[in-house]
């Protein structure tokens, strides 16, 4: 079976936009309204001559458990079922309490975890990326899912981990 990469992170950081960027087509549902992607959706992806499965997550309704618990649970599930996990954070916002909670879960992972610092649309935002080392998940990799900036570098790192 082909390797599985799960994309996790809080709503509105650009997970589905990044999934679309990786797929090279507009398929994962993107909206300005947080929580628009339903649960988890798997796609066939292809890079550097290799196939892999890309799992987009999201779409939790705010329920009794709260957003932070829901995102952490999704990360836990990703950690158990995928071969590698990509945590997406919004570099223009920086690390939020939810990002820190999900990072705590992912730091226990025995599988590779990559950290994407999304919405780095231009060089002036690169400085915001460095603060994300604090999440303890290694090198934050700047990317702009919207414009495609550095998405090839991120994919190379993903394939090296898968």
Q: Which parts of this chain interact with ligand GDP (CB under 6 A)?
A: 9, 11-17, 30-32, 34, 37, 58, 118-119, 121, 144-146
Q: Please pick, from the candidates 8, 16, 20, 70, the single residue that binds Mg ion as defined by CB under 5 A.
A: 16
- The option from Mg ion, ligand GDP, none interacting with 55 (CB < 5 to 8 A, set by class) reads none
As measured in angstroms, the least distance from the Cβ of 56 to ligand GDP is: 7
Phi, psi (deg, nearest 5) at residue 25? -155, 165
Q: What is the rounded distance in angstroms from the CA atom of residue 132 to the CA atom of residue 110?
A: 21
Q: What is the rounded distance in angstroms from the CA atom of residue 145 to the CA atom of residue 45?
A: 16
Stretch that binds Mg ion, among 53-61, 82-90, 96-104, 128-136 (CB under 5 A): 53-61
The alpha-helical segments, DSSP class H, found in the chain are: 15-23, 66-81, 97-106, 126-130, 151-161
Stretch that binds Mg ion, among 37-45, 73-81, 110-118, 125-133 (CB under 5 A): 37-45
* C-alpha to C-alpha distances, 77 to 57, 70, 80, nearest whole angstrom: 10, 11, 5
Q: Are the C-beta atoms of residues 36 and 61 closer than 8 Å to each other?
A: no
As measured in angstroms, the least distance from the Cβ of 110 to ligand GDP is: 25
Give me the residues that bind Mg ion (CB under 5 A), please: 15-16, 37, 58
């Amino acid at each position: 079976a082909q390797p599985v990469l799960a994309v996790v992170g809080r709503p509105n950081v650009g997970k589905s936009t990044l999934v679309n960027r990786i797929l090279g087509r507009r398929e994962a549902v993107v909206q300005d309204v947080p929580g628009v992607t339903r649960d988890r959706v798997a796609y066939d992806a292809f890079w550097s001559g290799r196939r892999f499965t890309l799992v987009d997550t999201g779409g939790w309704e705010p329920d009794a458990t709260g957003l932070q618990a829901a995102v952490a649970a999704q990360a836990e599930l990703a950690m158990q079922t995928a071969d590698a996990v990509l945590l997406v954070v919004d570099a223009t916002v920086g690390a939020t309490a939810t990002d820190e909670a999900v990072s705590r879960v992912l730091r226990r992972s025995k599988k590779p975890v990559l950290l994407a610092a999304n919405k780095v649309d231009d060089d002036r935002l690169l400085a915001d990326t460095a603060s994300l080392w604090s999440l303890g998940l290694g090198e934050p990799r700047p990317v702009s899912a919207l414009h495609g900036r550095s998405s090839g570098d991120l994919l190379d790192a993903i394939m090296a981990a898968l």
